A and B are shown apart, each in its own frame.
Chain A
Amino acid sequence: MNSFRWRKIKSGIATSLAALCVLLAVAPLFMIFFYTLFQGISALNLDFFTQMPKPVGETGGGMANALVGSGILVGLGSLFGLPIGILAGIYLAEYGDNPFGSIVRFLTDVLSGVPSIVVGVVAYIIVVLPMKHFSALAGGVALGILMIPTVTRTSEEMIRLVPHYYREAGLALGIPQWKTTLRIILPTAMKGIATGILLAIARAAGETAPLLFTALGNRFWSTSIGQPIASLTVFIYDYAKSPFEDWIRQAWAAAFVLIAMIFLLNLIFRIVTRGRYAER
């Protein structure tokens, strides 16, 4: 066999190995998704969405309070994280081409790598301890901190993507720079920013660790921000490590609802950003 043939064969083997890697990498995704789908869907019923949890060991009941609780926690997180993130993103895009801006950009990237449990510890120290009790507020603060890096980075990128002649047109018409940014640039970029927000929300909705000792949990219906509150993710954690079959069934249902929602948000993000902006 001549050398060229051998080299071609090697190339073919390499290609096949690479394809194998792809299969191995994508397989867990399908395994997890479909397993959760099958287990979750069979456990999903109207009760799940409308009922409150039953006492330990009894079958039935649902996670109505956890669904609402997660919604409130993410809402609170958005309340903290979105304004800070968007405005910081505007700064970076408009005025941020200086050393300070570079540092902020760098720190934002670094902040996105901080483990969520560490953020939970910080939220415990700065909210739970002074308030002297657990609360949805503390959970919201933790989630807000987690959302900031994503929102900041997306806002900056989307604003930068707006063609500069929009800005020039505004200024040529005599509109002050700040108004140009606020009234022309921002709305144009808003679609992209909104989908970035959706991504941040998807991430926050899936968090568990920071809620364990901030929002704690609640077996009852509660919408108050000063009280502990239930959340979907913490319920999954509590139920998953228990032996009660009914609880395990409900955990799968909750997991299914969670990833269905997250995948949906991701899909929306993809569709919107692909349509508008060129693929990187």
Chain B
Amino acid sequence: MDIPAKLDNGRSGSEVATAPPRTPPKKRGTFRGNVGDFVFKHLTLLFAVMVFSLVFLMAYEMYSGSRLSIEKFGLSFITNTTWDPVQDEFGALPFIFGTVVSSMLALIIAVPLSVGVAMFLSEIAPIWLSRPVSYLVELLAAIPSIVYGLWGIFVMVPWIRTSLEPFLSKTLGFIPLFRGAPYGFGMLAAGFILAIMILPIITSISRDVLKAIPNLQREAALALGATKWETTRIILSSARSGIFGATLLGLGRAVGETMAVTMVIGNRPVISASLFDPGHSMASVIANEFTEATSDMYVSSLVEIALVLFFVTMVLNALARIIVWSVTRKYNVAK
């Protein structure tokens, strides 16, 4: 007897049949003993609908909460640099700038490291090493943001202020990126701490992607006389889009990070060429100013920033999941 369906424990799962053949179909409208089934199915459906509508509820609430500022400022909200609660004039560009710069810096540091680690874990390391190391990397993801922030204030920032920034000033100080007083707090600190925080997620997804590529490719390369590194290079290029997806996920996390960033970024809404200078991010301005936004326009502007954050992270996540899913799917089907 052939047993229908395979167990799929992958993330897609849309091609799996779990329910075996049901009792013979009845005429519509008769509920022979299936009341329980009906109720149960619709009860669980109800909750699934709740999850479905949660996203839309959130978007709607934030939209209606920011109606005032959307109507008043329109698109100039994201191009204006003045954030003046006294005059009720709000432009979010400094925060967008801060979020973008700190996240980009984090990606520049984290992506090469993550890909290196993923490569090591999937291609090079023996099982007895890769399991515990993967676990350690995942533990990094479990550390709460506030603890990163605490460590950032008392360990990382002093180190940046007394060692890194003076060093960079001396050696690379001719580049505008590295000019200015050694505050310690600032964009550089934020970028570093974000890099540590997004490393685990980029690593684990990259590793999953690399693992999904069938061994056939590796064996073929090795059979042709390629060295370990050459084989890996081939695999990496096949996994290119998956790794890109992992990067997007990391970016999504970096963009939304709040506590660790607000504790080290310096909290000043300026756009500056230097990484040494303080800045502000979208998430950190909400954390700093939400409880005290006195006028309705002020609150509305902050909620609008939250709305922008919501959409940006949603788009990044959606894109990333689609890309990663399509890569692993390609190889699952081929297996």
A–B touching in complex (CB under 8 Å): yes
- Please tell me if the beta carbons of A117 and B258 are within 8 angstroms of each other in the complex: yes
- Please tell me if the beta carbons of A8 and B227 are within 8 angstroms of each other in the complex: yes
Partner of A125, one of B154, B256, B303: B303
| Alpha-carbon distance A263/B142, docked complex (angstroms) | 7
Partner of A252, one of B17, B150, B257: B150
Partner of A25, one of B17, B22, B137, B230: B137
| Alpha-carbon distance A20/B52, docked complex (angstroms) | 43
- Judged by a CB distance under 8 angstroms, whether B114 is at the interface is yes
- Give how many A residues have a beta carbon under 8 Å from the other chain's beta carbons: 107
- Please tell me if the beta carbons of B318 and A106 are within 8 angstroms of each other in the complex: yes
Q: A125 with B61: in contact, given A21-B112, A117-B286 (CB under 8 Å)?
A: yes
- Please tell me if the beta carbons of A116 and B258 are within 8 angstroms of each other in the complex: yes
Partner of B54, one of A111, A171, A207, A216: A111
- Please tell me if the beta carbons of B144 and A208 are within 8 angstroms of each other in the complex: yes
Interface hub of A22, A124, A156 (most chain B Cβ within 10 A): A22
Q: A117 with B287: in contact, given A92-B48, A240-B150 (CB under 8 Å)?
A: yes
| Nearest residue, chain A, Cβ from B15 | A97
> Which A residues are CB-close (under 8 A) to B20?
164, 167-168, 171
| Alpha-carbon distance A241/B303, docked complex (angstroms) | 25
Which chain A residues (72-118) contact chain B, with CB distance < 8 Å? Answer: 83-85, 87-88, 90-97, 100-118
- Judged by a CB distance under 8 angstroms, whether A11 is at the interface is yes
| Alpha-carbon distance A8/B229, docked complex (angstroms) | 8
> Which B residues are CB-close (under 8 A) to A93?
18
- Please tell me if the beta carbons of A88 and B313 are within 8 angstroms of each other in the complex: no
- Please tell me if the beta carbons of A88 and B321 are within 8 angstroms of each other in the complex: no
Q: Which of A47-55, A58-66, A172-180, A219-227 contacts B (4 or more CB under 8 A)?
A: A172-180
| Per-position binary interface string of chain B over residues 125-148, scored 1 when its CB falls under 8 Å from any chain A CB and 0 otherwise | 000000101011111101111111
- Please tell me if the beta carbons of B199 and A25 are within 8 angstroms of each other in the complex: yes
- Judged by a CB distance under 8 angstroms, whether B221 is at the interface is no
Q: A124 with B290: in contact, given A206-B144, A255-B147 (CB under 8 Å)?
A: yes
Which chain B residues (1-35) contact chain A, with CB distance < 8 Å? Answer: 3, 5, 7-9, 13-14, 16-20, 22, 33-34
| Alpha-carbon distance A152/B50, docked complex (angstroms) | 12
Which chain A residues (257-280) contact chain B, with CB distance < 8 Å? Answer: 258-259, 262-263, 266, 270, 277, 279-280
Q: Report the minimal beta-carbon distance from A187 to chain B, rounded to whole angstroms.
A: 16
Interface hub of A8, A122, A182, A266 (most chain B Cβ within 10 A): A122
Q: Report the minimal beta-carbon distance from A82 to chain B, rounded to whole angstroms.
A: 11
Interface hub of B45, B138, B252 (most chain A Cβ within 10 A): B45
- Please tell me if the beta carbons of B310 and A14 are within 8 angstroms of each other in the complex: no
Partner of A84, one of B3, B51, B258, B283: B51
| Alpha-carbon distance A102/B58, docked complex (angstroms) | 20
| Per-position binary interface string of chain B over residues 39-54, scored 1 when its CB falls under 8 Å from any chain A CB and 0 otherwise | 1110111111011101
The majority secondary structure among interface residues of chain A is helix
- Please tell me if the beta carbons of B150 and A255 are within 8 angstroms of each other in the complex: yes
| Alpha-carbon distance A177/B203, docked complex (angstroms) | 41
- Please tell me if the beta carbons of A259 and B291 are within 8 angstroms of each other in the complex: no
- Judged by a CB distance under 8 angstroms, whether A188 is at the interface is no
- Judged by a CB distance under 8 angstroms, whether A42 is at the interface is no
> Which A residues are CB-close (under 8 A) to B145?
206, 208-209
| Alpha-carbon distance A148/B287, docked complex (angstroms) | 23
- Judged by a CB distance under 8 angstroms, whether A131 is at the interface is no
| Nearest residue, chain B, Cβ from A279 | B131
Q: A28 with B196: in contact, given A118-B310, A176-B33, A233-B144 (CB under 8 Å)?
A: yes
- Please tell me if the beta carbons of B146 and A233 are within 8 angstroms of each other in the complex: yes
- Please tell me if the beta carbons of A103 and B257 are within 8 angstroms of each other in the complex: no
> Which A residues are CB-close (under 8 A) to B218?
none
- Judged by a CB distance under 8 angstroms, whether B180 is at the interface is no
| Alpha-carbon distance A165/B18, docked complex (angstroms) | 10
- Judged by a CB distance under 8 angstroms, whether B232 is at the interface is yes
> Which B residues are CB-close (under 8 A) to A255?
146-147, 150
- Please tell me if the beta carbons of A22 and B287 are within 8 angstroms of each other in the complex: no
> Which A residues are CB-close (under 8 A) to B139?
29, 263, 266
- Please tell me if the beta carbons of B5 and A179 are within 8 angstroms of each other in the complex: no
Q: A208 with B309: in contact, given A103-B52, A178-B41 (CB under 8 Å)?
A: no
- Please tell me if the beta carbons of A113 and B117 are within 8 angstroms of each other in the complex: no
> Which A residues are CB-close (under 8 A) to B302?
121
Sorted nearest first, the 4 A-B pairs with minimum C-beta distance are: A115-B256, A206-B144, A21-B116, A178-B40
Contacts A22-B117, A255-B147 known; 15 new A-B pairs at CB < 8 A = A10-B229, A36-B150, A84-B50, A100-B52, A101-B48, A106-B318, A107-B55, A110-B55, A160-B8, A160-B9, A164-B3, A167-B19, A205-B144, A208-B145, A237-B263
Could you give 30 example pairs across A and B, Cβ below 8 Å? A11-B230, A15-B120, A22-B116, A22-B121, A25-B113, A28-B140, A29-B137, A32-B151, A33-B143, A35-B151, A87-B44, A91-B41, A100-B48, A103-B52, A116-B258, A176-B36, A176-B37, A178-B39, A179-B36, A182-B40, A209-B259, A233-B144, A237-B149, A240-B146, A240-B263, A255-B147, A259-B143, A259-B147, A266-B138, A266-B142
Binding site for B on A (CB under 8 A): 7-8, 10-11, 13-15, 17-22, 24-26, 28-29, 31-33, 35-36, 83-85, 87-88, 90-97, 100-119, 121-122, 124-126, 145, 148, 152, 156-157, 160-161, 163-165, 167-168, 171, 176-179, 181-182, 202, 205-209, 212-213, 216, 233, 236-237, 240-241, 248, 251-252, 255, 258-259, 262-263, 266, 270, 277, 279-280
